[in-house]
Amino acid sequence: MTVLYEDNHIIAVNKTCNEIVQGDKTGDTPLSEMVKAYIKEKYNKPGEVFLGVTHRLDRPTSGVVLFARTSKALTRLNEMFREKSTDSNQQQSIKKTYWAIIQGAPKEPEARLENWLTRNEKLNKSFIAKPGTKEAKLAILTYRTLARGEHYTLLEVNLETGRHHQIRCQLAAIGCPIKGDLKYGAKRSNPDGGICLHARQIEFVHPVSKQDICITAPVPDDSLWQKFNEMVKA
């Protein structure tokens, strides 16, 4: 666990692809408990440490995760994330940028994708649906190509809505599944069991100070990620 930013009200960490944000049926220690332990030890806090989960990343996804250290920050951040997931038309007070390594390359180097998605709880998977389908939700994202290799392409993805497996499902629908994402059509798994989807950056208005905050998560320590990162820097 790498701490990317912290103050009295919030803390952001760089999640690895095998960590879970909150506890689940696996019984594995969640990231939230690791952060609590870190705060307790660093600040020598007695008793239970308060930590609020404001959003989640899929287990196989890496990148920045933001937690609230106070109830005031948690309430405001929850409102900000709720606005993002339900209203794609208004000016968002929080912006999440992802990097994705996909198989092949999209037909258009950059585009805006709009799809209606349905979620199958049993399969833990989302599917493209026709407009008007019962319980389908509108999913919108934009992407642009950052770098291209022989077999893979690095995309920057910005979400206008927050739907279940949105990036994974929408990119797969245009024939560009994320590397390692067997659930959505990747040819093979990654050695670490993760997928090449990384929550690269989060920008938001601080819930208490009202200052503009931008937090960037370094890419995973993997040869392909590092290669693409160098290409973007060049």
For the annotated catalytic residues, the residue numbers are: 58
> Does residue 117 contact residue 87 with C-beta atoms inside 8 Å?
no
Q: Compute the Cα dihedral for 204, 208, 212, 213 and give only its sign.
A: negative
The pairing of beta strand 197-205 with beta strand 212-216: antiparallel
CB atoms inside a 10 Å sphere around CB 115: 21
Cα distances (angstroms) measured from residue 16 to each of 1, 143, 195, 203, 219: 7, 23, 11, 20, 10
Q: Positive or negative, the Cα torsion across 143, 164, 21, 76?
A: positive
Structure tokens at 122: 């049993």
| Residue 72 token pair | 């005031």
